Amino acid sequence: MIDFLYKLSGVFMAGNSWKSINWKDPFLLEQQLTDDQRLVRDTANQFGQEKLLPRVREAFRKEETDPNIFTEMGSLGLLGSTIHGYDCPGVDYMSYGLIAREIERVDSGYRSMMSVQSSLVMYPIHKFGSEEQKEKWLKDLGSGNKIGCFGLTEPNFGSNPGGMITSCKKDGDDWILNGNKMWITNGSIADVAVVWANDENNTIRGFLVEKGIEGFSSSDVHGKLSLRASITSELSFSDVRVPDSSRLPNIEGLKGPLSCLTQARYGIAWGMVGASIDCYNTALNYSKERKQFSKPIAAYQLTQLKLADMITDITEAQLLVYRLGRLKDEDKMTFQQVSLAKRNNCVIARDIARKCREILGGNGITIDYSPIRHMANIESVFTYEGTHEMHSLIVGEHETGIAAYDS
């Protein structure tokens, strides 16, 4: 039997069919992209590798963020890329997914900065805002000349946003905001915050709160061991008075912020593929160069098993987001599908980062190699925009028809 298998493998190898496989894309998924999508992919990849990669190590080491990244992204059409009009590119959602993948190939912090600006700030303004609000903000946000943040999570309410304490009270033609928002990407450098608050009738409303308004302040979270290349802040509102023209007029209720999160989670599912690819490529190249005993560690069976498992998982994750992107472009995507993709691809990326660190050995704990940085970042991504547990319950509810949490 063993002789037969050896002979059979020899038949396949004799045809050299295995040599024709591109192991960076074993199922040739990139061939499914249109010319425009490839152009977007290549633009984002070049920007990531030439502009972001050279500065990410020091940014992560020093816990620093360069706000100029926003104008750099904006000049290439990477912010608010799916919006039509207002000087935005209006690309499809497959293209947006490819942007997220290529930026997160460098660092999750950079993708978070872009994702918040595009999916959590520009999207709700475009979707729920007045024409005056769109004209005031979208062009400058798309160019990166203005920066935005999104205030939903609170110190005591994350997975249950409906329990938010931040309040909005009508006072004549104005609204008075009070409360705190926590874990806010871009918070202290933002020119405008999309803030969600509960009114006296327990109706959630959205507001555009501008930087510098009396009673509105922010403070950065320091000492993070994850997402160190992006800013994370707490926002505080103490009797902040805003005009009714600052309210997003075309949305009421929790469906507003949750629809924004669906957009951001879509990008995360793609971004986790990028982080996984970078970890895999780093470990693969290292394993072929690093020699132990008589040969490269890539020649050992246990290393090859890890590499085979990883490329299989990456391919699975890629297939999932490719299909998800097409469903979104066809307006058929559901938030449950996004939850499934987010939870699946975060688990895959988390496992791949760990395996790649193992292949790198002692060198893998240094900042000179990206997997441990990705591994730290993924711990945040695994949790934010809905924890793994919450996405599991979302999927479970729609499998069984039974909610496992309070509505």
Over residues 233-263, the pLDDT tens digits come to: 999 999 999 999 999 999 999 999 999 999 9
Nearest to 146 by CA among 155, 154, 134, 137: 137
Nearest to 56 by CA among 17, 109, 10: 109
Higher pLDDT, 254 or 406: 254
Question: Where in the sequence of the chain do the CATH 1.10.540.10 domains occur?
Answer: 29-143
Q: Which residues are catalytic?
A: 385
Supply the pLDDT for residue 7. 52
Query: Domain 29-143 falls in which CATH fold?
Result: Butyryl-Coa Dehydrogenase, subunit A; domain 1 (1.10.540)
Is a pLDDT exceeding 60 seen at residue 5?
A: no
CA 261/CA 263 separation, integer angstroms: 5
CA 402/CA 396 separation, integer angstroms: 8
**Consecutive H or E run containing 67:** none
Question: Where in the sequence of the chain do the CATH 1.20.140.10 domains occur?
Answer: 255-400
What phi, psi does 221 have (nearest 5°)? Answer: -90, 120
Whether domain 148-246 has CATH 2.40.110.10: yes
The token duo for 279 is 């970890």
Supply the pLDDT for residue 10. 52
User: Is the entire prediction scored with pTM above 0.95?
Assistant: no
Question: Where in the sequence of the chain do the CATH 2.40.110.10 domains occur?
Answer: 148-246
Q: What 8-state DSSP symbol labels residue 157?
A: B
Q: Please state the rounded mean pLDDT for residues 210-234.
A: 97
Nearest to 79 by CA among 156, 141, 135: 141
What phi, psi does 97 have (nearest 5°)? Answer: -60, -40
> Quick one: what percent of the chain has pLDDT higher than 90?
89
Q: What 8-state DSSP symbol labels residue 162?
A: G
What phi, psi does 134 have (nearest 5°)? Answer: -65, -45
CA-based angle 284:55:189, to the nearest 5? 130
Across 22-48, b (16+ Cβ under 10 Å) vs e yields: eeeeeeeeeeebeeebeebbebbbebb
Give the amino acid at 399: E
Establish how many alpha carbons lie within 13 A of residue 181's alpha carbon, considering only the half-sphere containing its beta carbon: 28
Higher pLDDT, 247 or 24: 247
CA 79/CA 306 separation, integer angstroms: 36
CA 15/CA 211 separation, integer angstroms: 65
The token duo for 333 is 């995507």
**Domain 255-400 belongs to what architecture?**
Up-down Bundle (1.20)
Residue with tokens 């299909």: 323
